[in-house]
Structure 1
Amino acid sequence: MARQFAALDTALDDAIELPAGPNGEVYRIEGPSAEDGLRIERIMTLATRLAAGGETPEAEVLDDDAELDLYKAALGSSYDQLLAELSWPRFKHVAMTVVFWITADLDTAERYWASGGDPSRMAPNRATRRAGTRSSGTAAASKTPRRGSTSGTSTRTAKPRAAKA
């Protein structure tokens, strides 16, 4: 028998709400159509590949019109209202936050939002990075060979432990 899943409405939010107005106004942006979502994914995948490879593209990945088309696809029916009511920096930040929400997830969008658009602030902080790469004392000790016996006479063997019941 096939496994029964909960209705998608209970597991997925089809909109994002961002407090972007100069007076704290919250804008609700609905998720894009599947076609627009796929197009946004393709554009961001290309841009990510270029950035990861450190390549300088032969031509602009997005000219001004293509950039606005990307934002229009991401913002959908909210595009005109946001364009009319927000300054360019706020508009672009909202649009890119929505793009991250569409192409990654809500957590990535929240990190971008909190970064103010500064990519270096999206990376985990130094303490988090260091904690993620730090090994435990036990693991570190197992990698370090023990100092050999200085007496040179014999080695002791450990007695087997009795199993606990």
Structure 2
Amino acid sequence: MAFKEIGQLLNDGLHLPIGERTYTVPAPSAETGLRVQAIINAAAVAADGGEADEQVLADAAERDLYRDALGAAYDEMIADGVTWPELKHCAITAMVWIAQDTEAAERYWDAGGDPSRLAPNRETRRAQARSGAASSTPNRGSSSGTNTRPVPGPGAATQPTG
């Protein structure tokens, strides 16, 4: 069995619809992909309260990250007069695609960039809880090591059975 040519295995880009037009974001260069991945990782660390790599974030500020993430689609969007929120949403969607995959980018796109819309809604969570789908892990018992019934001490009288 031989390896297939890699172009047959990978998708040709990300297709983002805005109004009547669909923009194709081409696969980024390896350099852009590595930089986007590093920036997203640094941002995640910072969001979790850790210390982000200042050099990575400084490098991001030096370059036009949105232009790099969108590739040729960036110039097309600017020429077509897309709005700032549309351009920003497209660029962040492209960054999610670069750092993760198409499915994650679609979830981000469909949520309108709102993280609260990425999580299941309350009714879905309740339905999962009712069906037992929310957690397959049984509840833990007490780990305190204490017993709920007192254990008779030495020399305690026992009652006759009868």
Give TM-score, length-normalised by structure 2.
Answer: 0.68
Residue 73 of structure 1 and its aligned partner are, at CA, apart by 1.0
**Match in the other structure for 2:149:** none
Residue 10 of structure 1 and its aligned partner are, at CA, apart by 2.6
Q: How many residues align?
A: 135
- 8 A Cα contact 2:42 2:53, kept in partner: no
Opposite residue 98 of structure 2, the aligned amino acid is: I
Opposite residue 4 of structure 2, the aligned amino acid is: A
**Match in the other structure for 1:12:** 10
Residue 36 of structure 1 and its aligned partner are, at CA, apart by 1.0
User: 1:53 & 1:132 partners in 2: Cα distance?
Assistant: 31
Opposite residue 65 of structure 2, the aligned amino acid is: L
Q: Which runs of 4+ in 1 moved over 4 A?
A: 54-58, 128-132
**Match in the other structure for 1:50:** 46
SS of the residue corresponding to residue 18 of structure 1 reads strand
Superposed counterparts of 1:65-104, under 5 Å:
66=61, 69-85=64-80, 86-104=82-100
Residue 46 of structure 1 and its aligned partner are, at CA, apart by 0.4
Structure 1: which 5+ runs fail to align?
144-152, 154-165
User: 1:134 & 1:77 partners in 2: Cα distance?
Assistant: 44
CA deviations 1:37-78 (Å, max 9, x no partner) are 1111111110011112367999xx579x83971111101122
Opposite residue 73 of structure 2, the aligned amino acid is: S
User: 2:58 & 2:86 partners in 1: Cα distance?
Assistant: 19
Structure 1 89/47 Cα, relative in aligned 2: closer, same or farther at 3 Å? same
Opposite residue 83 of structure 1, the aligned amino acid is: I
- 8 A Cα contact 2:42 2:52, kept in partner: no
User: 2:117 & 2:103 partners in 1: Cα distance?
Assistant: 14
Please tell me the root mean square deviation across aligned C-alpha atoms, in Å. Answer: 3.3
Structure 2: which 5+ runs fail to align?
142-160
User: 1:103 & 1:73 partners in 2: Cα distance?
Assistant: 13
Give TM-score, length-normalised by structure 1.
Answer: 0.67
- 8 A Cα contact 2:26 2:70, kept in partner: yes
SS of the residue corresponding to residue 12 of structure 1 reads coil
Whether 1:26 aligns to 2:19 is no
SS of the residue corresponding to residue 53 of structure 1 reads coil
